[in-house]
A and B are shown apart, each in its own frame.
Chain A
Amino acid sequence: MQRITIDPITRLEGHGKIEIFLNDEGNVANTYFQIPELRGFERFCVGRPVEEMPLLTNRICGVCPEAHHMAGAKAADAVYDVDPPRTAKLLRELLYMAFFCTDHTTHFYALGGPDFIMGPDAPVAERNILGVIHKVGLEIGGKVIQMRKYGHEVVEMIGGRKVHPCTSIPGGLTKGITEEQCAEIEKMGRWAVEFGQFSLQLFNDIVLGNKAYVDLILGDIYTHKTYYMGLMDENNKVNFYDGKVRVVGPDGKEYVKYEPKDYAANIAEHVEPWTYLKFPYLKNVGWKGFVDGPDSGVYMATPLSRLNAADGMATPLAQEEYDKFYKTLGGKPVHQRLAIHWARLIELLYAAERWVELATDPEITSPNFHTIPTEKPTEGVGIVEAPRGTLTHHYWTDERGVVTKVNLVVGTTNNYAPITMSIKKAAASLIKKGNVNQGLLNMVEMAFRAYDPCFGCATHSLPGQMPLEVTVRKANGEILDVLRQFVD
């Protein structure tokens, strides 16, 4: 049997590897997407004081430590059954909105967006952030840097550090913010709203104004009719920091809505012997393999999933964009994975609007930012939306608040099965009768990028190139062909 190995050379053989097997006719028999990393947080966090969990779990990911810090803090709140003061919740959410703006900006401009702004037919050497700057203008580079800088400044003001924030503790925060800081944060937030609008206008002009691009989004190659998950407020509007988890079916109708503490009744994780990562699925639908449809428990948790799972956005400008999104793409739910990029920009605008709302709340500068826990510590679940999907932390402790057991269902992990399916579909569409189309490289790359996966941050590469090398081998290991992109 013929074999094709795809190593993302950005991480060498580590952190993500694709094996494609062809049958005797030269068509795809199967694909395997392997994650070769395990660091074991679920084991070595046992024995640690629960208040350290928001600091220890930061180190799961240096790109989105804010998400682990927040999920960890909320799980630790729940362990003590303590409700932080309103100011603490506002400040945590404010930090989190600034982080979302930074993260979504990085992804759109440096990683995923260039495929669209430059166009899928543009020479590969131009499909990166530098190409975007050349096409749209030099000032766009300055704006992107400014957005990232503002986001990091707010994270540092509230969280104490730019990477691995340290101020969230059970019951709230170790510090508040001053009126001066608040004024500065508000100013940056208003700029972020303009940046969000600018980004959507850019998408509108370049992508939506071009039929070929719209056809690409609506094409079949990345379409999977799965379930969709997202955290919702009491009005079923997208919320990144708090609420209930809502799942809608492939038909767009609500399948289940659960409290964070009930996640284990709804989610299970399938195990395969050829990878260190598990495959989450909807427990009550069941694991049916790497297939879509209402009978398969495979779900997706991304910006698009959140929009599909919601009834709308909680801020006015984002709501307008939400309506336009579904009107343009033919109603809810949208199953086409490339629409995740557009959904991400709508979320960017929401995060910026919410940033301003929070910064202008009269209670945001209150010194009442911490409630001392009084209950006996037991067990708690904390859920937030990470940029790459619903993030669940679950801790059990002894009566001293020392951790005895940990369970983590991490953002990108939710999407392990859907990404595997997208890779297989792309491969099957492009490899026919042993002919490995050069386009495979780009199509697989686009499959990765849409999900913005963070398998050990595998695709967090700047300036938006994901070097791939595809080796086609005969069964005896003899190399038939080597295809490269961004490598030479």
Chain B
Amino acid sequence: MSAKPKFAMYWAASCGGCEIAVLNIHEKILDVDAAFDVVFWPVAMDAKYKDVEAMQDGEITLCLFNGGMRNDENEHIARLLRRKSKIMVSFGSCACEGCIPGLANFSSITDMVDTAFSTITTDNPDNIRPQSSYAMPEGIITIPTLNPVLKTLDQVVEVDYYMPGCPPESHQIAAVVDLVIAALNGKAQLPPKGATIGAGNSTVCDECPRKRNVKAIKEFGRIQFIHADPELCLLEQGIPCNGPATRSGCNARCPSVGAQCIGCYGPAEGVVDYGARLISAFASVIDSNKPEEIDKILDGLVDPAGQFYRFNLAGSLLRSSKSAQKG
């Protein structure tokens, strides 16, 4: 048996983009392989669920866990891997804050299932809904039960570190791999428990190459209705860019190519409520003192709920709407 520390990576309710981002660290994967005994990583190797169950508690040194908690099975595996792992990293936006699938928490699970099974192409005269357990003529077959609301990983188990991003940038993943390997060799120290790793401590604006002239705006615009100036701050051109509230670490990837930041790196350091921070940032660029005019300017934001909680609803103070909690 190898004496190397053990590594695991798992995907719960996710899109697979986190795994692709890890594979995109290219030759660094070989460093992971050299430093760790990869014991469990469904995308990269054969995965032995029963072997994980058979492990000692805490036997896995490092577990990168991505994906949200959409159903009872996701939670079951989260608890199992938590028990078996010394260092559990909440990896990527879904695990950290719910990501785009967390927007489901604005409506009830019944509403979500009803919508999916009544679209214009759905042929469903008997109004069938998927059942967790269903008796077919040959026997009972089962599928997992959906949670009333999508939860983040740390709402189900304790996590040691948070690594934000949708997906985390590959250069940040490579840096974290280097740090953990150095720490295991006694050449570096791991950050305190609960820290955010693989990201910056400021905002996307601080990394953005666009020029800011502290110019105020009279209206919010939308990206499809302007030919944006390639040099100037998008927010100052009226585009509702989430850079001011969003954690740095991506090198301002989207604003650099003319697209507004949509907030995938989550709340900036020290921000308790992402939406509140963004609202105050937007308020600060509004060129008016008149309440009525301000209201009119704010009407230019056509989807405030989505704008302010696009990636982090499930992890926010709101977490979900009341109707969603009722199921």
Interface residues of A (CB under 8 A from B): 1, 3, 9-14, 17, 19, 21, 29-30, 32, 34-49, 51-52, 55-56, 58-63, 65, 76, 80, 145, 149, 152, 159-164, 166-167, 169-171, 174-175, 263-264, 267-276, 278, 280, 283, 287, 370, 372-373, 394, 400-402, 406-407, 409, 456-457, 460-463, 465, 467, 475, 486-487
Q: Determine whether the beta carbon of B131 is less than 8 Å from that of A175.
A: no
Nearest Cβ on chain B to A1's Cβ, whole angstroms? 6
Instruction: Pick the residue among A30, A43, A49 that contacts B136 (CB under 8 A).
Output: A30
Q: Is the CB of A12 within 8 A of B101?
A: no
Interface pair A166/B259, CB less than 8 Å apart: yes
Are B43 and A462 neighbours in the complex by a CB distance under 8 Å? yes
| Residues of chain A with a CB closer than 8 A to B42's CB | 9-12, 461
Nearest CB in chain B to that of A394: its residue: B120
Say yes or no: A462 contacts B44, CB within 8 Å: yes
B121 and A38 contacting across the interface, CB-CB below 8 Å:
no
Q: Is B121 a contact of A264 with CB atoms below 8 Å?
A: yes
Expressed in whole angstroms, the Cα–Cα distance for A149 and B71 within the complex equals 35
Cβ of B130 within 8 Å of any chain A Cβ, yes or no, is yes
Chain A residues positioned under 8 Å from B134 (CB to CB): 273-274
Chain B residue nearest to A270 (CB atoms) is B123
With known contacts A48-B303, A175-B257, A175-B258, A409–B121 Cβ distance under 8 A: yes
Which of B11-19, B193-201, B270-278 binds A?
Answer: B11-19
Q: B130 touching A460 by the CB < 8 A rule?
A: no
CA distance A370 to B224 in the complex (A): 8
User: Would you mind naming 18 contact pairs between A and B with Cβ atoms under 8 Å apart?
Assistant: A3-B139, A43-B107, A44-B101, A45-B103, A47-B305, A48-B103, A49-B222, A49-B302, A56-B103, A63-B15, A166-B253, A174-B223, A274-B130, A276-B130, A402-B303, A407-B121, A461-B42, A462-B45
Determine the chain B residues whose CB is within 8 A of the CB of A21 once the complex forms.
Answer: 138-139
What CA separation (Å) do A49 and B305 show in the bound complex? 11
Give CA–CA (A58, B278) in the complex, Å: 24
Contact status A65-B15, CB under 8 Å: yes
Please measure, in the bound complex, the distance between the C-alpha atom of A370 and the C-alpha atom of B106, giving whole angstroms.
33
Residues of B close to A32: CB separation below 8 A: 136, 141
Taking a contact as CB atoms under 8 Å apart, the answer to whether A38 and B113 are in contact is yes
Mark interface residues in B295-318 (1 if CB within 8 Å of A CB, else 0). 000000011011000000000000
Question: Do A164 and B225 contact each other (CB < 8 Å), given the known contacts A271-B123, A274-B131?
Answer: no
Using Cβ atoms and an 8 Å threshold, which residues of chain A touch B262? Answer: 52, 55, 166
Residues on A with C-beta less than 8 A from B146 are: 38
**Do B167 and A407 touch (CB < 8 A)?**
no
- Please determine whether A163 and B104 come into contact, CB atoms closer than 8 angstroms: no
A164 proximity list for chain B (CB < 8 A): 17, 166-167, 264
- With A160-B257, A268-B123, A276-B130 as contacts: A44 and B112 at CB distance below 8 Å: yes
Check A80/B15 contact, CB under 8 A, given A30-B136, A273-B129: no
Residues of B within 8 A of A (CB): 11, 13-21, 23-24, 26, 42-49, 70-71, 73-74, 77, 99-101, 103-104, 106-107, 111-113, 115-117, 119-124, 128-131, 134, 136-139, 141, 143-144, 146, 166-167, 170, 222-228, 230, 253-254, 256-259, 262, 264, 302-303, 305-306
Question: Of all chain A residues, which has the CB nearest B116?
Answer: A42
Q: Which one of A167, A275, A463 contacts B130 once the chains associate, using CB atoms below 8 Å? A: A275
What residues of B have a CB within 8 angstroms of the CB of A161 in the complex? 253-254
Interface residue from A46, A61, A263, A373 paired with B16 (Cβ < 8 Å): A61
Say yes or no: B115 contacts A42, CB within 8 Å.
yes
User: By the criterion CB–CB under 8 Å, are A170 and B123 in contact?
Assistant: no
Q: Is the beta-carbon distance between B253 and A267 smaller than 8 angstroms?
A: no
- Which listed residue, A30, A62, A372, A462, touches B224 by the CB 8 Å rule? A372
Other-chain contact of A38, B14, B116, B166 (Cβ < 8 Å): B116
Cα-based distance from A264 to B73 in the complex (angstroms): 34
Provide the residues of chain A in CB contact with B143, threshold 8 Å: 17, 34-36, 274-276
Question: Chain A residues with Cβ under 8 A from B139's Cβ?
Answer: 1, 3, 19, 21, 475
A149 CB contacts on chain B under 8 angstroms? 26
Residues of chain B within 8 A (CB-CB) of A63 are 15-17, 20
A461 with B43: in contact, given A49-B222, A62-B19 (CB under 8 Å)? yes
Query: In the assembly, what is the distance between CA of A60 and CA of B166, in Å?
Result: 12
* Set B20, B48, B112, B119: member contacting A62, Cβ < 8 A: B20
Whether B17 lies near A163 (C-beta < 8 A) is yes
Chain B positions within 8 Å of A174 at CB level? 223, 228, 257-259
Of A32, A149, A164, A486, most buried by chain B (CB within 10 Å of CB) is A164
Q: Is the CB of A65 within 8 A of B17?
A: yes
B43 pairs with A39, CB closer than 8 A: no
**Nearest CB of chain B from residue A107's CB, rounded to whole Å:** 14
Give chain B nearest CB distance to A283 CB in angstroms: 8
Q: Which residues of A contact B47 (CB under 8 A)?
A: 9-10, 12, 467
Cβ–Cβ < 8 Å partners of B226 in chain A: 372
Do residues B223 and A43 form an inter-chain contact, with CB atoms below 8 A? Answer: no
If A63-B20, A271-B128, A467-B46 touch, whether A373 touches B107 (CB-CB below 8 Å) is no
Q: Give chain A residues whose Cβ lies under 8 Å from the Cβ of B15.
A: 58-63, 65, 457
> Which 9 pairs show the lowest CB-CB distances between chains A and B?
A62-B17, A174-B258, A160-B257, A21-B138, A40-B112, A62-B15, A457-B16, A44-B103, A467-B46
Question: From B313, which residue of chain A is reached at the shortest CB distance?
Answer: A44
Q: Which of A38, A461, A486 counts the most B-chain CB atoms under 10 A from its CB?
A: A38
CB neighbours (8 Å) of B70 from chain A are 37-39
A401 touches which one: B111, B123, B302 (CB < 8 A)?
B302
**Most chain A CB atoms below 10 A, which of B18, B19, B99:** B19
Q: Which B residues touch A462, using CB under 8 A?
A: 23, 43-45
- Minimum CB–CB distance for A390 against chain B, Å: 13
Residues of chain A lying within 8 A (CB to CB) of residue B306: 47-49, 52
Partner of B106, one of A13, A44, A268, A287: A44
Partner of B71, one of A36, A394, A402, A475: A36
Check A12/B77 contact, CB under 8 A, given A38-B113, A40-B101: yes
**Contact B111 A43, beta carbon cutoff 8 Å:** yes
Residue of B whose beta carbon sits closest to that of A462: B44
Decide if B253 touches A160 in the complex (CB within 8 Å).
yes
User: Are the CB atoms of B112 and A43 closer together than 8 Å?
Assistant: yes
- A75–chain B nearest beta-carbon distance, Å: 13
If A402-B302, A462-B43 touch, whether A62 touches B130 (CB-CB below 8 Å) is: no
Question: Of B19, B122, B144, B253, which is within 8 A of A268 by CB?
Answer: B122
**Please, which residues of chain B bring their CB within 8 A of the CB of A269?**
119, 121-123
Neighbour of B104 across the interface among A17, A43, A270, A280, CB < 8 A: A43
The CA of A394 and the CA of B119, in the complex, are separated in Å by: 10
Query: Complex Cα distance A17/B257, Å?
Result: 41
Per the bound structure, the CA–CA distance linking A162 and B129 in Å amounts to 37
Using known A-B contacts A9-B47, A61-B15, determine if residue A407 contacts B119 with beta carbons closer than 8 Å: yes
Bound-state CA distance A2–B49 (Å) is 24
Given contacts A38-B130, A40-B101, A268-B122, 17 further A-B contacts (CB under 8 A): A11-B11, A12-B47, A36-B143, A37-B71, A42-B119, A48-B306, A62-B17, A145-B26, A160-B256, A163-B17, A174-B259, A271-B128, A273-B130, A274-B134, A276-B143, A280-B121, A467-B47
